[in-house]
Amino acid sequence: MIGQKINNRYNYNSHSNIFKKNSRSNAGNSNTLHKNNQINFPTKSSSSSFNNDQVTFSGGAISSLNKAAPKLNCFERLCSRLAKVGQTKTEAVKFSTGKAMVAPAAIALYPSKTDRASRAYSAALQPVEGAVRFAGFITISFLAGCASGKLAAKGILGKFFTKGSKEVVKKRAEVLKDAVTVGGTLLCVPITSTLVDKAHPKIVPFVMNLFKRQK
Amino acid sequence: MSIQFNPVKNYINRAVNDPNFHLKTVIVSSAMIELSQNAMDAHKALKNKKISKDERDYIASYKITNGLLSFASEATIGCVLANDKVQNKLADFCFKRLRSSPETFNKCAQGLKILFSLLVASVFIRRLIVPFISTPLASTVKDKVIEKKPKKEKVNCFA
C-alpha cells in the first residue's frame, strides 16, 4: 500500500519534465523501502512510471537523431566515404586502378593489326607500371605530408601556417601537402620511368608465365 | 625559409576558401603528371637504338599524341565536373532524398564529385577513349611532326 501511494505520487511527477530527476531519485528510495518492509510492490504501476519518464525524455531525442542521419544505401555510403579520403590519395588510386584494371583490358581487346604476343606483353606491362608509379606516389605523398606538416607546425615556413583557427591551419597544411606532393611526383617522373624500364623485363615474363600455367 | 611570396599565400587562401578551385588544380596537376610521363617515355623511345627508326618514331608520336589528348580531355572534363551548376544537378539527381539532412547531402555530393572525376575523367576517357583516338592520329603525327615528310607537289595538268 505504501508502495502504491509512493508510486502514485511519482506518477504525477513523471508527467512534468522539471521533476524528472527528483522522481528518479525518489523512485530509487521507493525500491529500498519495498525491500526493507517486504511489501508486494505493484510492478505494473512502477514500470509505467519509469517508462513514462524515459519516453518523455528520450523519445524526442531519438526522433531528432533519426532525422539528422538517414539510412544510406551502398552508393551513398561509398560517396560519403570517398569524401573523407581526400584528393591526392584518390588521384593515386584512380591512376593505379586505370593502369591495373582498365588499360590491360583495353589493350587486349583493342582491334589492332599488331601480333598477339606483343599485345599481351604490353597488356602485362601496364599493371607493373601502375604498381611502380603507385608505390612512388604513395611514398612521395607520405614524405611530403610528414615534412610539410612538421615544418608548418613548427613555424619554419612562416607564421602564415600557424596563425588563425585550428580548422584553417589544418586546411592550409593540407593544401600545402597536396602542392608538395604534386611537385614531388613531377620531379620524380624520370626516376619512376627508369624504375619501370628496369623492372618490366624481369616481372612481365613472370606474369605472362603465370597466366600460361593457369590455362 | 619563410614563405614571403604573395602568389603562394594567395593560392593557399583561395584553395582553402574555394574547394572547387582546389579540385580543379588537383585535376590539372594530375593531367600534367600524366603528360610529363608520356613526354619522358617519348624521349626515351627516341633514344632507344635497339628498335628500328620507324618503330621508334611511331612510339614517340603515339606517346606525344596520347599525352596531349589525355591532358586536354581530362582537364576539360575535370573542370566541367568541378563546376557548381553541374555538381548541383548531379547531386540533386543522385541524392534527392537526402536533401532533408544537409550535412550528409554535402558529404555525399563531395564524394560523388571525386567518383565522377575518377570514373569519367580518369578511367573512362584516359584509358578507353584517348587510346582509341590517338592510335590512328599517331601515324599522322609521325609523318608530319617527327619525320617532316614534304608535301606532295601539285601537278598543274594545264601547264
Model pLDDT, residue A50: 45
Determine contact, residues B69/A41, Cβ cutoff 8 Å.
no
State ipTM. 0.73
Most confident of A144-158, B52-66, B74-88, B97-111: B52-66
Model pLDDT, residue B155: 66
Residue B26 at interface with chain A, using a CB cutoff of 8 Å: yes
| B:104-133 residues touching chain A, CB 8 A cutoff | 104, 107-112, 114-115, 117-118, 122-123, 126-128, 131-132
The residue whose grid cell reads 608509379 is A133
**Domain housing B82:** 6-146
Residue bearing the bigger pLDDT, A186 or B20? A186
Minimum Cα–Cα distance from A98: chain B residue: B123
Point out the residues of chain A with pLDDT beneath 50. Answer: 1-58
Number of domains observed in the structure of chain B: 1
Residue A79 with chain B: CB contacts under 8 Å:
94-95, 107-112, 115
Mean per-residue pLDDT, B57-78: 87
Closest Cβ–Cβ partner in A72, A159, A175 for B16: A175
Q: What are the angstrom distances between the C-alpha of B14 and each of A159, A171, B19, B24, B75?
A: 18, 11, 8, 12, 19
Q: Is there a domain that residue B152 lies in?
A: no
Burial class (CB in 10 A: 0-12, 13-18, 19+), B140: exposed
The interaxial angle of helices A20-37 and A43-68, nearest 10 deg, is 150
Q: Is there a domain that residue B157 lies in?
A: no
Mean per-residue pLDDT, B80-88: 80
Residue bearing the bigger pLDDT, B126 or B73? B73
CA B121 to the chain's CA centroid? 8
Sign of torsion, CA B81 B85 B88 B92? negative
Contact A83 B111 (CB under 8 A): yes
Q: Where are the domains of chain A?
A: 2-68, 85-214
Q: Is there a domain that residue B23 lies in?
A: yes
Interface A:B, Cβ pairs < 8 A: 126
State pLDDT tens for residues B46-66. Answer: 888 888 888 888 888 888 898
Nearest to B66 by CA among B118, B155, B133: B133
3-state SS string for chain A: CHHHHHHHHHHHHHCCCCCHHHHHHHHHHHHHHHHHHCCCCCHHHHHHHHHHHHHHHHHHHHHHHHHHCCCCCHHHHHHHHHHHHCHHHHHHHHHHHHHHHHHHHHHHHCCCCCCHHHHHHHHHHHHHHHHHHHHHHHHHHHHHHHHHHHHHHHCCCCHHHCCCCHHHHHHHHHHHHHHHHHHHHHHCHHHHHHHHHHHHHHHHHHHHHHHHHHC
Q: Is the pLDDT of residue B34 over 50?
A: yes
Which grid cell sits at A42? 505493484
Contact A87 B104 (CB under 8 A): no
Residue B15 at interface with chain A, using a CB cutoff of 8 Å: yes
Contact A102 B128 (CB under 8 A): yes
| B:59-98 residues touching chain A, CB 8 A cutoff | 94-95, 97-98
Q: What is the DSSP string of chain B?
A: -----HHHHHHHHHHHH-HHHHHHHHHHHHHHHHHHHHHHHHHHHHH--SS-HHHHHHHHHHHHHHHHHHHHHHHHHHHHHTSHHHHHHHHHHH-GGGGGSHHHHHHHHHHHHHHHIIIIIIIIIIIIIHHHHHHHHHHHHIIIIIS-PPPPPPP-TT-
Minimum Cα–Cα distance from B121: chain A residue: A94
Model pLDDT, residue A36: 45
Torsion of CA A60, A64, A65, A69, to 10 degrees: 160
Percentage of chain B exceeding pLDDT 90: 3
Residue A70 at interface with chain B, using a CB cutoff of 8 Å: yes
Closest Cβ–Cβ partner in A70, A82, A192 for B115: A82
Residue A195 corresponds to which amino acid?
Answer: L
Contact A189 B110 (CB under 8 A): no
Q: Is there a domain that residue B151 lies in?
A: no
Residues 6+ apart with CB under 8 A from B141: B61, B64, B65
Mean per-residue pLDDT, B114-126: 74
Minimum Cα–Cα distance from A68: chain B residue: B101
Determine contact, residues A77/A108, Cβ cutoff 8 Å.
no
Model pLDDT, residue A4: 47
Closest Cβ–Cβ partner in B107, B117, B135 for A80: B107
Q: Kindly report whether the global pTM for this prediction surpasses the value 0.90.
A: no
Model pLDDT, residue A79: 81
Residue A188 at interface with chain B, using a CB cutoff of 8 Å: no
Model pLDDT, residue A157: 77
d(CA A45, CA B101) in angstroms, rounded, equals 40
Determine contact, residues A148/A180, Cβ cutoff 8 Å.
yes
